[in-house]
Structure 1
């Protein structure tokens, strides 16, 4: 019994949560608008801070390749966060993300976002 308890306790303290992967897809009809949004993603990646420090682990963004399976979503973004808390901060408080939304909001036709903790 004691050995089992030690194993469970060890797992609790050594199993860290995997990073949160966030995928965002945009439908932005105008190519010039897509370019402006992508430029703002470059700015956001350099300026997003929480408590004065960068907090986004990784970010990737680009125009989607033409393919009927993308259902018209033509700009793809993947953002990686250490925790769900950091992603929620990004959504609600991050000034760099607010600036990005100010540019993307008026020009997007649609947006789809999903996020997950990878099992790999």
Structure 2
């Protein structure tokens, strides 16, 4: 088995009502996602971001973990639950989401970490 794939998607949503609808859509995705009749996404989390100027207007973050590239490609191109999420999300966001990803551990190795004082 190859390295797991992690993806974060950042959304800009204009109202608290829309934030809640997007978070609910991720719960629905988690319940409905399947490949060959079994769940295939290893982890799904979606949270509202802190109201902080450094968030640059992003209000929701979703993190997902996939077993491999094959599962991620299925998610992006064929998963009906993802198609439903995407349709819902595009009605709620003010601009296209920012999508980032990496392989391996939960935190990229080259990400600088501040030491606690």
TM-score (norm 1): 0.82
1:33 is paired with a residue whose SS is helix
- Give the CA deviation at 1:66: 1.3
Residue-by-residue CA offset, 1:84-120 (whole Å, 9 max, x unaligned): 1111111111111111111111221121001110356
Distance in 2, Cα, partners of 1:96 & 1:57? 15
Q: Shift in Å at residue 17 of structure 1?
A: 2.1
Rg larger in 1 or in 2? 1
Name 2:90's counterpart in structure 1.
105
Corresponding residue for 1:115? 101
- Unpaired runs of 5+ residues, structure 2, are 110-117
| Runs of 4 or more above 6 Å deviation | none
Residue 74 (structure 1) aligns with: 59
Residue 54, structure 1, aligned to residue 18, structure 2: no
Unaligned runs of 5+ in 1: 1-15
Give aligned pairs, total: 105
